[in-house]
Amino acid sequence: MGGVRYGLLLLLIAIGLGLLAGRVVTLHVIDRPFLQGQGDARTLRTDTIPAHRGMISDRHGEPLAISTPVVTLWANPQDLPVDDIQRLMLARGLGMELDALNERIDRYAEREFMYLQRRLTPKAAKRVLDLRIPGVYSRQEYKRYYPTGEVSAQLLGVTNIDDAGQEGLELAYQSHLAGTPGQRRVLKDRRGRLVRDLAVLREARPGGDLTLSIDQRLQYMAYRELKTAVAEHQADGGVVVMMDADTGEVLAMANQPSYNPNNRAGLDPRGLRNQAIVDVFEPGSVVKPLAMAAVMESGAFDRDTVVDTSPGWMRIDRFTIRDIRNYGKLDMAGILEKSSNIGMSKLVLELDDPLVPEKYRLLGFGESPGTGFPGEANGSMPAPVRWSSSQWAALSYGYGLSVSALQLASAFTALANDGIRFAPSLLRLNEPPTGISVIDPAVAHDLLRIMEESVQPGTGGRRAGVPGYRVAGKTGTVRKSSSTGYTEDAYRSLFVGVAPVSDPSIVTVVMIDHPKAGDYYGGAVAAPVFSRVAGNALRLLDVPPDAREE
């Protein structure tokens, strides 16, 4: 009986070993490809290698926007511990309330991925990772940092949390600045932790760098002076645009209000707009030298022409045009110095052809500046259909059209370069640009000298003077408009200037929006800002002082 039981036991063992051997053969031979694929699917992963976004720098290589390495923490909710002690440690490490963390984990309970906190500094992320809480992992990313903060915010723009451009030049040059992420094959354990790097499938390709025309020194200085002026005059905002007179490169572009792109908490939406490029306004008297260029080129008038502006007002169509007072007889220089609307209107109405609007178009008004900046404004010019005499007159003293501060600066490069206008550029130019001849050289030369007389002691533009340098410019005071017409107590104060007159180096536009502290005339509000900005710029650029012409 014992032998039978012993034999039966051996038979059962043999059968078990046979089944086990068969199973081993099945797993290693028949099911091996399937099982190996399933195992690799659980351990082999393809990870993304983040790409470094290109740097934006000023014309001298100073960084304006850089990408710094950061760490993003994520978790697999199904692997996170359930006990309150570890969750409390995690919540404190993340700077969260325990209830908020638990609510978030519950919301993602059916998933295998959730963000805990994005774009932490490596030091802050290490504090959390050192807690060694199961289910918590890290990923390397990049965060955009702007060394100049609010000084260049509207020009540069910002990136979103995924480091993609959302505003300004960051958006305009997204395809150039953004790198191409790489891929790598890695081995991970069942909890998703990295065990070993296996191979790089594709190297990450960094984005291209961008060199702007901006001079960081001038940008800081222009922004400081603009911010001071806006605060002093209790204004709604303002703009300063400084352009290289020889190339059209924008050396400084400051806006108020502004914001800190490195900390957008409590952001004022008004500060996002690059008013110098995307906003337009009626330029008022600052365009009178440009209109006078068309008048002088007509051949019907010259610099010595005298116009009787008495009695200081005139009726055209159904409108009354006025000067501040009765200036009597004025020559061309006097018309600009006194900023006589009557003088400009009488000159233009003597012309048979629409030479002024044609000149404005040659100077870039009503057309895209071509910088590529998102939302750049074309401005507006009235269509030459059934123009009335009053419309022709209004154009001569800066009403009935709209321009941006950038367009104004570009137009005045023609007066600084013997009639050759340069298109504006926000990027540093490696070769001299080809300008467009839009004003007769002799006329441009005469107008620059007339504009110089308009900023001498005793004139409305006297506060624009720069000690040691000869400057030329024009003031402007524009009544703001609304849906119901022109307002009675809201103005824009403007000044456009060229310096130095002997060999023009910079063209600068200053616009202060709705000053409310008393003064609002361009000569009292905008001209002093030009004086400080242009004077500091000429010294920073090492432009030698020039002697006055005798």
Q: Which residues are catalytic?
A: 285
Give the count of beta carbons closer than 10 Å to the beta carbon of residue 313.
13
Q: Are 346 and 309 a contacting pair, CB within 8 Å? A: yes
Position of tokens 């929006």?
513
Rounding to the nearest 10 degrees, give the CA dihedral for residues 396, 402, 408, 414: -50
Which residue, among 293, 292, 256, has the nearest Cα to 510 in the 3D structure?
Answer: 256
Q: Are 214 and 64 a contacting pair, CB within 8 Å? A: yes
**299 Cβ contact list (under 8 Å, min separation 6):** none
- The 3 state secondary structure assigned to 117-132 is EEEECHHHHHHHHCCC
What DSSP string describes 209-248?
A: PEEBS--HHHHHHHHHHHHHHHHHTT-SEEEEEEEETTT-
- List the beta bridge partners of residue 237: 513
Q: Which amino acid is at 399?
A: Y
What DSSP string describes 241-297?
A: EEEETTT-BEEEEEEES---TT--TT--GGGG--HHHH--B--GGGGHHHHHHHHHH
DSSP 8-state assignment for residue 191: T
How many Å apart are CA 41 and CA 58, to the nearest integer?
48
